[in-house]
Chains A and B, each alone.
Chain A
Amino acid sequence: MASVRADAGADPKDYGPAAGAILTVRDLSVEYAMDSGAVAAVDRVSFDLYPGEFLGIVGESGCGKSTLLFAIARLLAPPAAITNGSVAFKGTNMVAMTDKELAPVRWRDLSVVMQSAMNALNPVTSIGAQFKDAMKAHGVTSKEEIAARSAEVLQMVGIDPVHLGSYPHQLSGGMRQRSMIAMALLFTPELVIMDEPTSALDVVAQRSLMVHIKKLQEELHFAVVFVTHDMSLVSHFSERLMVMYAGQVAEYGSTREVFDTPRHPYSVGLLEAFPSIRGERVPLTGIPGRPPDLSQPQHGCWFAPRCPRVMDLCRDTEPDLYQVRDAKVRCLLYTEAERKEADRG
């Protein structure tokens, strides 16, 4: 149980899971114990997810999105550890649970789709054998039941069940990803966590897979947490969107709100970094500089060194999350005082 510190995992009753929410994350923090000291890979992330909802988590490498995902799924290994906060899944705080307590939850109620199927699928056993492993691990022993469910779940993702006997390397990239998703749906979980499942696919296969995931989500009513670096991809499918930077939530709100009116300068920069294939061809600048080194302590806002709208205040004051209409923004431009200034001017 080295992946959770003894003092972590506050009782969810203190924060109160949002009524009706299937997943409530409150002030979740993850640290890596490095030789040079502890580094906060995820810093006080909070959000609520309701049944059937699709949450997109967007950010670039080093922002902590994958670490966050692993923390929620309780898949972290030393030197990473959850050091604060709670993850309440269907009312129970997962952070405080042991592996044994987690086992029945895993895969039945909550499943995970990894980024690269070639990394996650066992290359030396057939797909069918891996489905069987998963089902047996959860107490399904009848051969007929296993065969029937395996075939059913492959058909759900659009693969001919004859491929149950195939090895991963015999399938194309798209089909491998689909079989990962099929495996995740074996027990019709209520929450499926996906870590960039389409990044290894080409654009047409990607579109096809995303549409399919959305369709399955609508049919089977599971909630999805979808992590990606491609903001434009997730824009068509998610109801809520979270932009992460330096382990923190930079902006969080409904997808339409964040897309139509991005407020955090990083979200603005990120959206503008995607050249469009329609409309005017305009020169873009991207975001100058580099993602921060989280092991170097920073006073003030992590984004300040790269921010086009930086103020003197930003370098000394750590911004909180400020509510602006339907979104929360971690930017000092949106404190009460600043907004009043902006409104007046």
Chain B
Amino acid sequence: MAELSGPLLRTEALSRHFKIGNALSRRILHAVDDVNLTIGSREIVALAGESGSGKSTIARLLAKIYKPTSGEIYFQGRPVSAIRSRRELLQYRGDVPMVFQDPFSSLNPVHRASHGLIRALKLHRPELNAQQREQEAIRALDAVGLTPAAEVLHRYPFELSGGQRQRLGFAQALALRPKLIVADEPVSMLDVSIRIGLLNLMAGLRDDQGVSVLYITHDIASARYVADRLIVMYAGQIAESGPVEDVLAQPRHPYTQLLLSAVPDPRAPLSVGAETDRGEPPKVVDPAPGCRFRWRCPLRIDECDHVTPALRELLPDHQAACHVATAGTLTKAFG
């Protein structure tokens, strides 16, 4: 395989719209609009945002559960829409598997833990015989810390705890020898004391197995803990993107600042936030041009009402989609 010259995965003006209402209505929900993001090899990129931000839709676009309404996804330089044959599709699915959020509904309750693993191996690594498949399954379970692996293989999902089920989800992805794991809020439904273990596991996968992870979350603190780069989404668009420490230390987009100020941190005094702000992102239906954050933004100017801000590089590798944001001293909107 030729040496990779570009990023592992890149999207170009990726959009996904949904028709809503009854058959006669023509209203269109813009779940994701014009998203350009890149994910490199051996890195964890956190995609953070609240509900309605479009982050789950992006996950499903990358995992080829949805087809883009417009725009393109390039994986290892080649457009994903060009995938036609089943063999190519299987190849992609093996390179970009997905880990789901809900430990209860992501495993089939009537099949043992081995089922998903063995099936994945059968489909993606047909050269293995039954014994080798079992070896690989055990290896995947060991890599995610589910031991004793041979015993776990025979358990049913209801015999595993939430944390164990999520590890099993990662094992199923690992068994495919993936390049990029799309993890859709993998720890949101776990107890707090269990989350760290899973986050450490993801960091371990990056370091030891060279796998990239797209970590989708609404929890900025965990994003900071585990990710190399952070992308903040709002109302279907990217608001800000850059190395995680840079974005958190110097948030350029007012929404990022708002998000950061709202994170409860027992070690810091609470900032109260605007009295009238209900704290909810809008549902984007048939939007007019203009910044989608403008109704909640204290720094709003005239241009924000008419022109949708494009993602601009303000500092090296640090971009924000805001008319007011500059590369100079930080304008504080919140917090």
A and B: interacting chains:
yes
- On A, residues with C-beta under 8 Å from B are 60-61, 158, 172-175, 201-209, 211, 229-233, 235-236, 259, 269-271, 273-279, 281, 283-288, 290-291
Given known pairs A61-B191, A229-B191, the reply for A204 and B224 (CB within 8 Å) is no
For the complex, what is the distance from the CA of A131 to the CA of B286, rounded to whole Å? Answer: 35
14 contacts between A and B (CB under 8 A): A60-B192, A158-B278, A173-B51, A174-B279, A202-B50, A202-B279, A203-B263, A209-B279, A211-B273, A274-B221, A275-B222, A277-B221, A284-B196, A286-B195
Q: Does B127 make an interface contact (CB < 8 A)?
A: no
Interface-forming stretch among B35-43, B107-115, B254-262?
B254-262
Counting chain B residues whose Cβ lies within 8 A of the other chain, the interface size class is: 35 or more
The secondary structure that dominates the A interface is: loop
Given known pairs A173-B51, A208-B279, A232-B264, the reply for A202 and B225 (CB within 8 Å) is no
Q: Does B86 make an interface contact (CB < 8 A)?
A: no
B163 CB contacts on chain A under 8 angstroms: 290
CB of A277 within 8 A of CB of B260, answer yes
Complex interface residues of chain B between 204 and 246 (CB less than 8 A to chain A): 218-222, 224-225, 245
CB of A204 within 8 A of CB of B221, answer no
For the complex, what is the distance from the CA of A288 to the CA of B163, rounded to whole Å? Answer: 11
Given known pairs A202-B51, A204-B258, A283-B200, the reply for A274 and B224 (CB within 8 Å) is no
Q: Does B151 make an interface contact (CB < 8 A)?
A: no
Greatest chain A CB density within 10 A among B161, B221, B277 is at B221
- On B, residues with C-beta under 8 Å from A are 50-51, 161, 163, 191-197, 199-200, 218-222, 224-225, 245, 248, 258-260, 262-270, 272-273, 277-281
A192 to chain B, nearest CB (A): 20
- Please name the residue on chain B nearest to A200 by beta carbon: B51
For the complex, what is the distance from the CA of A158 to the CA of B222, rounded to whole Å? Answer: 31
CB of B279 within 8 A of CB of A273, answer no
Number of A-B residue pairs with CB-CB distance less than 8 Å in the complex they form? 127
For the complex, what is the distance from the CA of A287 to the CA of B200, rounded to whole Å? Answer: 13
For the complex, what is the distance from the CA of A270 to the CA of B160, rounded to whole Å? Answer: 22
B136 to chain A, nearest CB (A): 27
For the complex, what is the distance from the CA of A158 to the CA of B276, rounded to whole Å? Answer: 8
CB of B264 within 8 A of CB of A207, answer yes
For the complex, what is the distance from the CA of A154 to the CA of B269, rounded to whole Å? Answer: 29
- Please name the residue on chain B nearest to A205 by beta carbon: B279
CB of A204 within 8 A of CB of B264, answer no
A274 CB contacts on chain B under 8 angstroms: 192, 221, 266
Given known pairs A204-B279, A273-B196, A277-B224, the reply for A60 and B191 (CB within 8 Å) is yes
A57 to chain B, nearest CB (A): 15
For the complex, what is the distance from the CA of A235 to the CA of B264, rounded to whole Å? Answer: 8
A275 CB contacts on chain B under 8 angstroms: 196, 199, 221-222, 224-225
Question: Given A277-B221, A277-B248, A286-B193, 13 more contacts at CB 8 Å?
Answer: A61-B191, A203-B219, A203-B259, A203-B264, A206-B264, A207-B270, A208-B262, A270-B193, A281-B225, A281-B245, A283-B200, A285-B196, A286-B196
B221 CB contacts on chain A under 8 angstroms: 274-277
A158 CB contacts on chain B under 8 angstroms: 278
A230 CB contacts on chain B under 8 angstroms: 192, 264
For the complex, what is the distance from the CA of A230 to the CA of B197, rounded to whole Å? Answer: 17
CB of B262 within 8 A of CB of A206, answer yes
For the complex, what is the distance from the CA of A201 to the CA of B52, rounded to whole Å? Answer: 12
CB of B196 within 8 A of CB of A172, answer no
A175 CB contacts on chain B under 8 angstroms: 278
CB of B267 within 8 A of CB of A236, answer no
A271 to chain B, nearest CB (A): 7
- Please name the residue on chain A nearest to B218 by beta carbon: A202
- Please name the residue on chain A nearest to B334 by beta carbon: A204
CB of B196 within 8 A of CB of A233, answer no
For the complex, what is the distance from the CA of A290 to the CA of B197, rounded to whole Å? Answer: 12
For the complex, what is the distance from the CA of A235 to the CA of B280, rounded to whole Å? Answer: 23
Given known pairs A158-B278, A175-B278, A236-B270, the reply for A204 and B262 (CB within 8 Å) is yes
For the complex, what is the distance from the CA of A140 to the CA of B161, rounded to whole Å? Answer: 48
- Please name the residue on chain B nearest to A291 by beta carbon: B191
Which among A173, A231, A284, A286 is the interface contact of B266 at CB below 8 angstroms? Answer: A231
CB of B266 within 8 A of CB of A271, answer yes
B277 CB contacts on chain A under 8 angstroms: 204, 208
What 5 A-B pairs have minimum CB-CB distances, sorted nearest first? A286-B196, A205-B279, A275-B225, A202-B50, A208-B279
A231 CB contacts on chain B under 8 angstroms: 192, 266
B222 CB contacts on chain A under 8 angstroms: 275
A271 CB contacts on chain B under 8 angstroms: 266
B53 to chain A, nearest CB (A): 9
CB of B263 within 8 A of CB of A277, answer yes
- Please name the residue on chain A nearest to B283 by beta carbon: A172
CB of A204 within 8 A of CB of B259, answer yes
Given known pairs A175-B278, A277-B265, the reply for A204 and B225 (CB within 8 Å) is no
CB of A273 within 8 A of CB of B248, answer no
B222 to chain A, nearest CB (A): 6
CB of A278 within 8 A of CB of B193, answer no
For the complex, what is the distance from the CA of A281 to the CA of B280, rounded to whole Å? Answer: 29
